[in-house]
Chain A
Amino acid sequence: MKELRLMKGNEALAEAAIRAGADAYFGYPITPQSEVIEYLMRENPADRTGMQVLQAESEVAAINMIYGAAGCGKRAITSSSSPGISLKMEGISYIAGAELPCVVVNVVRAGPGLGTIQPSQSDYFQAVKGGGHGDYKMIVLAPATVQESVDYVKLGFDLAFKYRNPVMILSDGIIGQMMEKVELFEQMPRSTEEYDWATVGKKPGKNSVFVTSLQLQSEEQEKVNLRLQAKYRVIEKNEVRYETYMCDDAEYLFVAFGSCARITRKSMEMAREKGHKVGLIRPQTLYPFPEEVIYEMGGRVKGILTVEMNAGQMVEDVKLAVNGQCPVKHFGRFGGMIPSPDEILNALEQKIIGG
């Protein structure tokens, strides 16, 4: 039976990790996501499912613990917020290079540097364009509700193991801190599957397994890169997810993700009341990006406004997708400021409808 609860985004996500059959969580406290590890420590999932939870000495150590557990074929998850995610980037690059599955949650706060603990979307580039070194991609899921924070943990593990690739859940301080009604999926058993790529002890008559991202020969490294790129093309073909709102008759279009898409939806409703035919596309996967639908809409509407809590990041991907078919502008608040529905509507009228 599904269970209905009113839960904080961070706590719901932690509960989802237990229910998704995660084997381990390793993390380090940082605002605004410390409720994740606090909830797990309080809940003591070792008693419920055998899931291991450990507070590491740093984000660097935590992501490398994830590497170790993922290398054994286990379902491992970590969470942090922007400055901590920067520290994890080294490890994420190694995980991508060694093709290990894991889920990394970023409850984004504003930067650069220590910045502020208030919500932001300014880690978009870091999440979708690399962040760590080397040519690699993470699958990036952008929840807009507490419910999606829960559902994406399960989806995240599924995709991570399907493609042996790190998955990032790009949340933010609003989604992490707010409480909403949430339907929790039933407890899933922890997997007992043993994978031939995982280090679980050498089998007699078989070669030993090693998990590595190292190739000393360039010829070999290029083969690895080509294999990764081929995998990314498959991900781009299969895993694009998005929602559209009132796009059928739209003359103008908003593109926004995460909590910002919710605020923008309110602006869209207000614009409709004023007689503007406006639609909204909300990418649920930021990588792979919903290029096709945005290209198609770009050929139909008079202009597109991206709304982001940053200085203009996703707007670059929207422009690439639209490919010059119509004007694409950006409106954003940043530094922890949250745009109001009014100012978004105003920006649409100024920059797109009147522009």
Chain B
Amino acid sequence: MITPENLVYEKTKVMTDRVLHYCPGCGHGTAHRMLAEVIDELGIQGDTIGVAPVGCSVLAYYYFNVDMQEAAHGRAPAVATGIKRVLPEKYVFTYQGDGDLAAIGTAETIHACNRGENILIVFINNGIYGMTGGQMAPTTLPGMKSSTSPRGRDVATMGNPLKITELIAELPGTYFVTRQSVHTPGNARKTRRALKKALEYQKLNKGTCFVEIVANCPSGWKMTPVQSNKWMEEHMFSFYPLGDIKVPEK
């Protein structure tokens, strides 16, 4: 029997009670929780405004218990710019997938980062378009199958996967750029620490902080959750190595 006396873990109040629509085994749920817990820990629930993308996390505003805006596909960094410019005291984050951030929204992403907008960009990279049914993404690996690369991504005709995070790290406007994952408790904790640092830097007006989370997509990849995590470790991490890419100079 669960009673207040024997409760060892409680869901953060920065997440609502709505049931997540994400597929079983998907990384979004953990990624949401890490960000929500950090907002809770920093005590900034009432001072945070989020921007949801178009993609699987289009309904993120149902789950984060903070004020949020739903942006057009790819435009979240521009929407976040508009919010931050008129409410500079608030914490502003975007939460975007790879299609949203690295394909249709490349210009908005690069220019917001290059201006050094004081926002946090959370980038979920699962190498596929999950919401629309598993089409090829800008981050789909060479040879990786999707519904629009059924014989595997042919880089000669379909182009190369885009390492946008490395690109972003080159821009003078970015302050902290890192690549993490949430597929093990240890990795989830590292992600949590990265998100916390990013929001602390935002308070100090340091510039854009960019946290990529390499994630699995069991449905899109047509694998079980366990298989997908294993495949991610074996294939995704070699192309998208985890770790900090740009850290503040001491």
A residues near B, CB below 8 A?
A: 23-24, 26, 52, 54, 56-58, 60-62, 64-72, 74, 76, 90-91, 94, 98, 199-204, 208-214, 216
Whether B111 lies near A61 (C-beta < 8 A) is: yes
Residues in B with CB closer than 8 Å to A76 are 82, 86
The contact string, 1 if C-beta is below 8 Å from chain A, for chain B 43-73, is 0011111011000001101001111111110
Whether A201 lies near B107 (C-beta < 8 A) is: no
The number of inter-chain residue pairs (CB within 8 angstroms) is 131
Q: Give the docked Cα–Cα distance between A248 and B39 (Å).
A: 67
| Shortest beta-carbon distance from A168 to chain B in Å | 18
Whether A72 lies near B83 (C-beta < 8 A) is: yes
Whether B46 lies near A212 (C-beta < 8 A) is: no
Whether A212 lies near B69 (C-beta < 8 A) is: yes
Given contacts A61-B75, A214-B58, contact A69 B82 (CB under 8 A): yes
Residues in B with CB closer than 8 Å to A208 are 16, 61, 64-68
Q: In the complex, what residue of chain A is closest to B61 when comparing beta carbons?
A: A210
Whether B82 lies near A204 (C-beta < 8 A) is: no
Whether A64 lies near B78 (C-beta < 8 A) is: yes
Residue from the list B70, B87, B111 in contact with A200, Cβ < 8 A: B87
Residue from the list A24, A70, A74, A201 in contact with B46, Cβ < 8 A: A201
Given contacts A65-B85, A71-B79, A71-B83, contact A58 B107 (CB under 8 A): yes
Whether B68 lies near A61 (C-beta < 8 A) is: no
| Shortest beta-carbon distance from A133 to chain B in Å | 11
Residues in B with CB closer than 8 Å to A52 are 85-86
Whether A203 lies near B58 (C-beta < 8 A) is: no
Q: Give the docked Cα–Cα distance between A26 and B111 (Å).
A: 14
Whether A61 lies near B61 (C-beta < 8 A) is: no
Q: Give the docked Cα–Cα distance between A56 and B72 (Å).
A: 16
Q: Give the docked Cα–Cα distance between A211 and B51 (Å).
A: 9
Whether B69 lies near A71 (C-beta < 8 A) is: yes
Q: In the complex, what residue of chain A is closest to B108 when comparing beta carbons?
A: A61
Residues in A with CB closer than 8 Å to B67 are 199-202, 208-210
B residues near A, CB below 8 A?
A: 16, 45-49, 51-52, 58-59, 61, 64-72, 75, 78-87, 90, 107-108, 111
Q: In the complex, what residue of chain B is closest to A203 when comparing beta carbons?
A: B46
| Shortest beta-carbon distance from A101 to chain B in Å | 13
Residue from the list B58, B68, B75, B85 in contact with A64, Cβ < 8 A: B75
Residue from the list B51, B70, B111 in contact with A57, Cβ < 8 A: B111
Whether A61 lies near B107 (C-beta < 8 A) is: yes
Q: Give the docked Cα–Cα distance between A31 and B64 (Å).
A: 43
Q: In the complex, what residue of chain B is closest to A211 when comparing beta carbons?
A: B69
Residue from the list A57, A200, A204 in contact with B107, Cβ < 8 A: A57
Q: In the complex, what residue of chain B is closest to A198 when comparing beta carbons?
A: B67
Given contacts A65-B81, A66-B82, contact A72 B107 (CB under 8 A): no
Q: In the complex, what residue of chain A is closest to B76 when comparing beta carbons?
A: A64
Whether B78 lies near A56 (C-beta < 8 A) is: yes
Q: Which 6 A-B pairs have the closest CB atoms?
A: A68-B82, A65-B82, A64-B78, A212-B70, A199-B67, A68-B79
Q: Give the docked Cα–Cα distance between A203 and B49 (Å).
A: 12
Q: For B45, B72, B80, B82, which residue has the most chain A Cβ atoms within 10 angstroms? A: B82
Given contacts A24-B85, A57-B108, A69-B86, contact A94 B80 (CB under 8 A): no
Residues in B with CB closer than 8 Å to A71 are 69, 79, 82-83
List 14 A-B residue pairs with CB atoms under 8 Å apart, sorted by A's residue number: A52-B86, A56-B111, A61-B78, A64-B71, A64-B72, A65-B82, A67-B72, A68-B86, A69-B86, A98-B69, A200-B90, A201-B48, A201-B90, A210-B61
Given contacts A24-B86, A72-B86, A203-B46, contact A211 B81 (CB under 8 A): no
Residue from the list A70, A98, A202 in contact with B45, Cβ < 8 A: A202
| Shortest beta-carbon distance from B57 to chain A in Å | 12
Q: In the complex, what residue of chain B is closest to A67 when comparing beta carbons?
A: B79
Q: Give the docked Cα–Cα distance between A64 and B85 (Å).
A: 13
Given contacts A52-B86, A69-B86, contact A91 B72 (CB under 8 A): yes
Residues in A with CB closer than 8 Å to B108 are 57, 60-61, 64
Q: In the complex, what residue of chain B is closest to A54 when comparing beta carbons?
A: B85
Q: Give the docked Cα–Cα distance between A60 and B70 (Å).
A: 16
| Shortest beta-carbon distance from A75 to chain B in Å | 9
Whether B68 lies near A72 (C-beta < 8 A) is: no
| Shortest beta-carbon distance from A191 to chain B in Å | 11
Q: In the complex, what residue of chain B is closest to A50 when comparing beta carbons?
A: B86
Whether B69 lies near A202 (C-beta < 8 A) is: no
Q: Give the docked Cα–Cα distance between A91 and B111 (Å).
A: 18
Q: Give the docked Cα–Cα distance between A265 and B67 (Å).
A: 51
Residues in A with CB closer than 8 Å to B111 are 56-57, 61
Q: In the complex, what residue of chain A is closest to B47 when comparing beta carbons?
A: A201
Q: In the complex, what residue of chain A is closest to B62 when comparing beta carbons?
A: A210
Residues in A with CB closer than 8 Å to B49 are 72, 199-201
| Shortest beta-carbon distance from A100 to chain B in Å | 9
Whether A211 lies near B82 (C-beta < 8 A) is: no
| Shortest beta-carbon distance from A73 to chain B in Å | 9
| Shortest beta-carbon distance from B12 to chain A in Å | 14
Residue from the list B46, B71, B107 in contact with A202, Cβ < 8 A: B46
With A54-B85, A76-B86, A199-B67 known, 19 other A-B pairs at CB within 8 A are A24-B82, A52-B85, A61-B75, A64-B72, A64-B82, A67-B79, A68-B81, A69-B82, A69-B83, A72-B82, A98-B69, A200-B49, A201-B67, A202-B46, A203-B46, A208-B65, A208-B67, A210-B68, A210-B70
